[in-house]
Amino acid sequence: MILRQQEGSQFEKKVRAPLDVTDKFWSTKDRMFLQDIENRLADLIGSPAHADETCLVGTLTPPGGDSIADHLGLHVDTNAAHWRFCTAIIYLSSVSDGGHTVFPAAVEDGLPSEESEIAISAARTLLDLGIDHTDKARPSSASSCAAQELLAAASAGTGLAVTPETGTACIFWTRQDDGEIDPHSWHGGAPVLDDHSWKWTLQKFKEVPVWARGKHDVLAEFVRQTRLHVMSHV
């Protein structure tokens, strides 16, 4: 379906293809397939799909790039839409070398290491400065310093790296239980290093519904309930 959306294109950079359930381009079977994915993610996360969030997005990442900085950088998902609170990345292909989704400020278990502390501090500094993508850091500034520290942490393997494996999914929250953007959610895609592998993914960016956007405490409670919901179903 992604290829059909991009028919005739050459892939030298990352390609994104919107997969809207209501698109007349799809057959009835296609639409049922997309709707089933939307429904399953909504049931898992505890937040029905609504008109104020983007549709599913298919992505293709061809091989290329030497580092995360050269590839696409690091970001939090509110950089493209302010009300995003949760992201699901479904891996449609396995990649033998590279292509990981990296979270340099994530802490898996126990106390963070010294390297993790540096990454977390850099992630918080960027958000405090209003920076949501390392590409937006201004040269010779505090934001540039923090961006370089976070990128260096990602390159060094600090934090968490999720390997693309066909049929698996990575679901993470961009917002914390208090509704604020989570500094641990900074992430990016490592370049695909195997010249014979293409990384295919399907992404869903869940957004806070309109009724929960009016007051901060309502937003926070909505996000908290979705996190409790998914934890009770895993």
Give the tens place of pLDDT for each residue, 193-225: 988 888 999 999 999 999 999 899 999 999 999
* Cβ within 8 Å of residue 183, ≥6 positions away: 105, 120, 123, 124, 127
Distance CA 38, CA 49 (A): 7
Angle at 74 between CA 121 and CA 52, to 5 degrees: 105
pLDDT, average across residues 94-106: 95
Residue 185 has pLDDT above 60, yes or no: yes
| Dihedral angle computed from the Cα positions of residues 109, 114, 119 and 121, in that order, rounded to the nearest 10 degrees | 100
The single residue listed with the structure tokens 């278990």 is: 109
For the chain, give every domain's residue range.
2-107+159-231
| Terminal C-alpha separation, the chain | 30
Give pLDDT, residue 9: 57
Structure tokens at 149: 């520290």
Distance CA 23, CA 11 (A): 23
60 beta partners: 15, 200
Domain range 2-107+159-231, CATH architecture = Sandwich (2.60)
* Cβ within 8 Å of residue 150, ≥6 positions away: 74, 104, 105, 119, 122, 123, 126, 134, 186
Quote the pTM value: 0.92
Residue 222, Cα to own-chain centre: how many angstroms?
Answer: 20
Contact (CB, 8 A) for 83 and 219 = no
Name the pLDDT band for 10 (thresholds 50, 70, 90).
Answer: low
Give pLDDT, residue 130: 96
Query: Residue 150: in which H helix or E strand, if any?
Result: helix 142-155
Give pLDDT, residue 151: 95
